[in-house]
Amino acid sequence: MQQQPTLRLGDIKLGRNPRQYFDPAKMAEMVESVRVQGVMQPVIVRPLDDGSHELVAGGRRYRAAMEAHGADYPMPVIVKPLDEFEARSVALIENIQRDDMAPSEEAIAAAEIVGLCKGDRDEAAAQLGWSRPVLDSRLALMNCSAAVLDALNTRTIKLGHAELFAAFTKEQQDKLLPVVVKESRTVADLKKTLEQVSCSLPAAIFDKTDCAGCQHNSAAQAEMFGESIGTGSCTNRACYNEKTEKQLEATAAGLRDEYQTVRIVRPGDNHTRIQLVADGSKGVGAEQMKACYACQNFGAAVSGLPDSMGKVYKGQCFDTVCNMKKVAARIKSEKAPDTAAAKAATATGASKATSATSATTAASAAKGSKPSTTANPEATVVAESDRVKTYRVALWRKALRREVSADVALARQYLIAVVATGDARSIAAEPVNTIWERLIDDKPAVGDFSKAATAAAALESDVQVKLLVALAMSAIQGVDVPYLVQMCRHHKLDLAKHWKLDKEFLELITKSEMKVVADELGLRAAMGDDFKKVFAKSKAEVIDALLSVEGFDYSGKVLKVLKF
């Protein structure tokens, strides 16, 4: 039997442990067990670049062994070559699936898993082995204040208490928590208390005009005494919540013209976004940051959290895993030994960056403000969103069909090539049958080869040619995208003959990306001083202006993002 590998306990570095609370009585039992029997189940570690190992899972066993035997104890280990993000996922799931983990710790760990899954809660629930309702209820706890989470962690309050607290601001929670603990209020008692707390109208983010005369406005009855509606509260929580949601959606809708991704963030979405920055411990680097502006995961967040309801956070990255990898790559590149040439280039770049930073800082200081690194970031390219991809593939198919359909010999040649390369399955019957029915005023004999062959033999030669072209058109429409690209390249398809800037395309992209389009096509130069004025208007007005620049020749110009 192969012996379990071990590492000196003191040589294992502690990693990030989702579990923060260790029940003293249970830990004492484990320490005694390890003292007598040793550690029976190996811990999971991962090798680091410097040759050491980091603990991934097994924090309680590590602590018990350290207390029972000290740093020289030969700790049984399972070594797994995991990167930082895989290690975090393993640690989270390993801990969260243990039944003695506090709901508050489960909430924090589950929120990180959701972040690793790019906000996909269904995927996160599957990884955790939870139902979606269980996941959502845990994530809701992320709106609890630190004091409430700590009280739940240490079992000072129950899960029901925390779930009720989560609906209110952290300030309200911290005021009420000591009372609940001191007076040993039950969950039912707390529920009655919180049901009496109305929704604050002054804090509402929606238009309160209709609230003035509403019977659910607590200030309505007091107006005869001269009290302002600003002091009122709403006692109809359902109506209040509905209006709040509509306002959140309206705020998000207003940002979608500017950013590729706009999300309303809820409790539990803590790790699904991060502020994109170039420098510092979380910086991706200046060049990478510019590239990120064009990413589909770049955008803005609208807060749906009680403490910051309706607040907008711009310049957000919604792929935190990718962001962390970019940060790690930047830090690694900075630590790597440089050649003399690289050092010289770095020095030159640093000098320029320092000069630019100094100028920015000086200008900001003169205005009495701090320099901002995220104000109105602009795309540097048009992002290849799903909508843009769908648009350009449709353009390729339409353009290729148009040229091939005009040349019968070419249609026959391409049809033979499609069949010869095993892609005959891409030829759909429906378009051909439609042509058949229109040309000979009869439906084809579906499933009856003999009848169809006889009918085909009776067709006049010009009708057969038309059906052959229809087959080629169906093939072009049906082949997959990589094969379509091959066809376009072989054909040397000139998209400039088939496309010019239109409203349909501009509606697919953001205003920031429209500036990229304007630069690439030469529209910015043609618009001159009017360019900035135009982009201060709504998206619809910008589109109209870009499509009606006087004296500008739109033909013969194709965007890079549309080319194959």
CATH number of the domain within which 34 lies: 3.90.1530.30
Q: Residue range 103-130: average pLDDT? A: 87
Q: What is the pLDDT of residues 234-256, one digit of tens each?
A: 878 889 999 999 999 999 999 99
- C-alpha torsion 55→58→60→65, nearest 10: -70
Q: 44 - beta bridge partners?
A: 57, 78
Q: Residue range 420-449: average pLDDT? A: 79
| pLDDT at 342 (0 to 100) | 45
Q: How confident is the model at residue 18 (pLDDT cuts 50, 70, 90)?
A: low
The set of residues, in sequence order, having a beta carbon less than 8 Å from that of 451 and lying 6+ positions away, is: 445
| pLDDT at 2 (0 to 100) | 62
3-class SS of residue 58: coil
Q: Which of 126, 159, 192 is the last residue of a domain?
A: 159
pLDDT at 504 over 50: yes
| pLDDT above 90: percentage of residues in the chain | 42
Q: 502 - beta bridge partners?
A: none
| pLDDT at 257 (0 to 100) | 87
CA distance linking residue 525 with residue 471, whole number of Å: 46
Residues 287 and 84 sit within 8 Å (Cβ to Cβ) = no
Which of 79-88, 109-118, 315-324, 408-417 shows the lowest mean pLDDT across its residues? 79-88
Our count of domains for the chain comes to 2
CA distance linking residue 96 with residue 90, whole number of Å: 10
pLDDT at 353 over 60: no
| pLDDT at 226 (0 to 100) | 39
pLDDT at 389 over 60: yes
The set of residues, in sequence order, having a beta carbon less than 8 Å from that of 339 and lying 6+ positions away, is: none
Q: Tell me, yes or no, whether 471 lies in a domain.
A: yes
Handedness of CA 466, 471, 476, 482 (dihedral sign): negative
Query: Which domain covers residue 33, as residue numbers?
Result: 6-159
Q: Tell me, yes or no, whether 89 lies in a domain.
A: yes
Q: What is the pLDDT of residues 459-470, one digit of tens each?
A: 888 888 888 999
Q: How confident is the model at residue 420 (pLDDT cuts 50, 70, 90)?
A: very high
CA distance linking residue 446 with residue 31, whole number of Å: 77
DSSP of 77-90, one letter per residue?
EEE----HHHHHHH
Residues 44 and 57 sit within 8 Å (Cβ to Cβ) = yes
Handedness of CA 110, 111, 112, 116 (dihedral sign): positive
With tokens 């925390």, the residue in question is 162
Handedness of CA 109, 115, 116, 117 (dihedral sign): positive
Q: What is the pLDDT of residues 314-348, one digit of tens each?
A: 999 999 989 988 998 998 888 776 544 444 444 44
Q: How confident is the model at residue 373 (pLDDT cuts 50, 70, 90)?
A: very low
CA distance linking residue 133 with residue 110, whole number of Å: 13
Q: Which of 159, 179, 196 is the last residue of a domain?
A: 159
Tokens of 401: 């069909």
Q: Residue range 118-145: average pLDDT? A: 89
Query: Which class for 36: exposed (0-12), middle (13-18), buried (19 or more C-beta within 10 A)?
Result: exposed
| pLDDT at 354 (0 to 100) | 40
Secondary structure element (H or E) that encloses residue 275, with its range: strand 274-275
| pLDDT above 70: percentage of residues in the chain | 85
Residues 124 and 99 sit within 8 Å (Cβ to Cβ) = no
pLDDT at 369 over 60: no
Q: How confident is the model at residue 397 (pLDDT cuts 50, 70, 90)?
A: very high
With tokens 């570095």, the residue in question is 13
- Find the DSSP H helices in 408-458: 408-420, 429-440, 449-457
Q: Tell me, yes or no, whether 322 lies in a domain.
A: no
Q: What is the pLDDT of residues 162-208, one digit of tens each?
A: 988 887 888 889 999 999 999 999 998 888 777 666 688 888 999 98
The set of residues, in sequence order, having a beta carbon less than 8 Å from that of 340 and lying 6+ positions away, is: none
CA distance linking residue 506 with residue 548, whole number of Å: 13
Residues 107 and 268 sit within 8 Å (Cβ to Cβ) = yes
pLDDT at 399 over 90: yes
pTM for the structure as a whole: 0.62
Q: Residue range 425-430: average pLDDT? A: 85
Cα 177–Cα 183–Cα 185 angle in degrees, nearest 5 = 70
3-class SS of residue 374: coil
Q: How confident is the model at residue 99 (pLDDT cuts 50, 70, 90)?
A: low
pLDDT at 225 over 50: no
| pLDDT at 172 (0 to 100) | 85
Query: Which class for 336: exposed (0-12), middle (13-18), buried (19 or more C-beta within 10 A)?
Result: exposed
Q: Tell me, yes or no, whether 230 lies in a domain.
A: no
Q: Tell me, yes or no, whether 168 lies in a domain.
A: no
Handedness of CA 332, 336, 339, 340 (dihedral sign): positive
pLDDT at 94 over 70: yes
Tokens of 359: 């100028």
Residues 78 and 92 sit within 8 Å (Cβ to Cβ) = no
Distance in angstroms between the alpha carbons of the first and the last residue of the chain: 58
With tokens 């804090």, the residue in question is 203
Q: Residue range 300-320: average pLDDT? A: 93
Q: Tell me, yes or no, whether 393 lies in a domain.
A: yes
Q: How far is CA 496 from CA 492, 520, 523, 558, in A?
A: 12, 14, 17, 6
Residues 45 and 12 sit within 8 Å (Cβ to Cβ) = yes
pLDDT at 222 over 70: no
Q: Residue range 551-558: average pLDDT? A: 94
- Find the DSSP H helices in 273-382: 286-292, 320-335, 340-367
CA distance linking residue 346 with residue 39, whole number of Å: 50
CA distance linking residue 249 with residue 266, whole number of Å: 13
Which of 112-116, 143-147, 522-526 shows the lowest mean pLDDT across its residues? 112-116
| pLDDT at 343 (0 to 100) | 46
Higher pLDDT, 105 or 311: 311
Per-chain mean pLDDT for the chain: 84
Residues 500 and 557 sit within 8 Å (Cβ to Cβ) = yes
| pLDDT at 21 (0 to 100) | 66
| pLDDT at 340 (0 to 100) | 44
**DSSP-assigned letter for residue 166:** T
pLDDT at 368 over 60: no
Tokens of 556: 């013969």
DSSP of 167-213, one letter per residue?
TS-HHHHHHHHHHHHHTT--HHHHHHHHHTSPEESTT--S--GGGTT
Q: Tell me, yes or no, whether 306 lies in a domain.
A: no
Q: Residue range 403-418: average pLDDT? A: 94
Main-chain phi, psi angles of 55, to 5 degrees = -70, 130
Q: Which of 142, 159, 176 is the last residue of a domain?
A: 159
CA distance linking residue 412 with residue 79, whole number of Å: 60
Q: How confident is the model at residue 352 (pLDDT cuts 50, 70, 90)?
A: very low
Q: Tell me, yes or no, whether 310 lies in a domain.
A: no
